[in-house]
Amino acid sequence: MSDSTQGPARSKLRRVPKQERSRERIDEILKVSMDLIGRKGIDAVTMKEIAALSGGPIASVYQYFPNKSAIVAMLYERYAEEVLGLVMECTRGVENRQDAFRAVEDLFENYFQAVRNNPPLQDLINAIQADKTLSDMDIAHSRIHSRIFIEATRNFVPEPLHEQYGRSVFLMFHLAVGAVRLALLGGEGEAALVIADFKNCAKVQLSQFIEGSFPDFG
């Protein structure tokens, strides 16, 4: 598992772990927290429960995390790192236009499946929308993730459109979370249609930039 104690959420730690035993303690706290979130929802989880189920006194939780928000922030950081890995995997080896369209298909499909198969992650994503700090972190990570896709595909886009292309890709990446949340609110059939429609929208946008041709709405 990635070491999220080295990411932006590190600043929320009360004490930065230096020894392996301390890192293992943080991992256990985060693992228990994620499990509780999946079973009860973020609002119902308490620091006391986290301490009891992670095998230590409550002081051992507060030793690293000043509050529950700090735990949620680090859980978000781990989620963002997993998404980063997914983006890098799906954009690896993009050499032509068809590869770019394949990357769009794989990226959004794999992201949807990852969230659908992880109920605690769904609750964490919902919490992002209600917390300004997490929301700001989410925007920052959307920029990072979208830049990776842009770097892998912009050679297929005419240079005068690069700036606009960058804005469009960032928008699609950030909207992907909302599309997945919407899909998960419906039944299995509706979810598949929502994700298929979103992927088609992204591919239409990509096609228009590659061809340098946009409809005239004037």
- Mean pLDDT, the chain cut into blocks of 10 residues (218 residues total): 45 56 88 91 91 90 91 92 96 96 97 92 85 90 97 96 96 96 91 96 96 76
pLDDT for 5: 46
pLDDT for 31: 94
pLDDT for 39: 87
Architecture of the structural domain at 73-211: Orthogonal Bundle (1.10)
DSSP per residue, 71-138: HHHHHHHHHHHHHHHHHHHHHTT--SHHHHHHHHHHHHHHHHHHHHT-HHHHHHHHHHHH-HHHHHHH
Among 115, 109, 128, residue whose Cα is nearest residue 194: 109
Tokens of 61: 């939780």
Domain ranges of the chain: 4-69, 73-211
Instruction: Tell me the whole-structure pTM to 2 decimals.
Output: 0.83
Architecture of the structural domain at 4-69: Orthogonal Bundle (1.10)
pLDDT for 9: 47
pLDDT for 92: 95
